[in-house]
Structure 1
């Protein structure tokens, strides 16, 4: 697994068709989302990009296995009519840190609320936006509002609306073909093989940080929405504009850009 720098990916995109759609490649739902999105006749070429957060650990090599199974399934479904390009690895831990780590004290003081999970998913989408702008300006994501009745705080309606709004503000369409697929069995039907949720994927150190000891999801919906509207959204748009303009700015440059942006702090 070799991660690329952004300029290397830019060089790669020069040889790809301009209608190529970015496919977020992570766990089960993201793979199913790519396969589902390919049902759209306007989507023929996909560049899958796997990205990581600094909180993730475990078996990263499993992604290659999952990618190969996806390729096999795509050929079963679409033959040679669709193209999925080789898997690209790209992350930016400084970006994750600025969104989710640097201003925790201010977030808690301002909103009496904090979880890294909503900002983490925003990071994953934001990371790929400069690349998408060089191609079709579209990104496929495997977000789902409900997981067999279970709530994931980073995939509530409020969170997904914010990711979509953020991408749109930066001139990219975030496609979520599984958003309203509640039953995990239907996800497996799209995949064409048995893949249970949470399996065959790396793990996160913050897993279930918003779930209390009794297993209940605990968060204040109003506080989370205020955090999204007044912090996460403007921060991500400001950072997105910086990434689009400068590529891979330093952590210090990103922080300074936020400090100079009126209305954020």
Structure 2
């Protein structure tokens, strides 16, 4: 069992986040939050956390090593922090009997984001002026815009890990193995698009997908992998047998 407060106390002397760590430990400020229990883990390792205090002068680390250590510490402290809070505003406008809707969200309390600055403070929504319920608006411009559908972008690292977690494929300790496997088999390629790394299916990967699809075999569907992993876990825990799982598959 990790002693979380002891780990945090070791970080109170750091020049970057020491004051934040001290504030977490200050019971009068009420900032401490117990971390949420992970619902999807194989318990192969304890939660990633800094095992000791270190700064650049003492460690002699290279730049990339310092950056990694900072990420680990900031993520750990953020997990013990308050939630960030957003305000949602929905606007419904009646224009000559035609209904129009718009929605925006703004961040009004930083919470854990004060420490975990890797997430953008911009939530991707347009900023609305203040509105009053039942108020009247005077349209300045009425424009009809034409647009075309474009194919979605290939998945980035963040997108792929998020989807794998959502579909319950693998765990945080096996995701890299699964990704490296499909890359090694030439099903996808990891390419830099000038802004971020993305996964692009190869001709072999597309042929495999199309072949399964034409044969009406759902082997490419993410829920198949998730179901298989669930059955393996059931066999391991003794709640199902291999025979039961094979019968269910058939």
More helix as a share of residues: 1
TM over 0.5: no
The two structures have a TM-score, normalised by structure 1, of: 0.24
More strand as a share of residues: 2
Indicate the structure (1 or 2) with the bigger Cα radius of gyration.
2
Question: Greater RCO between the two (CA within 8 Å, min separation 6)?
Answer: 1
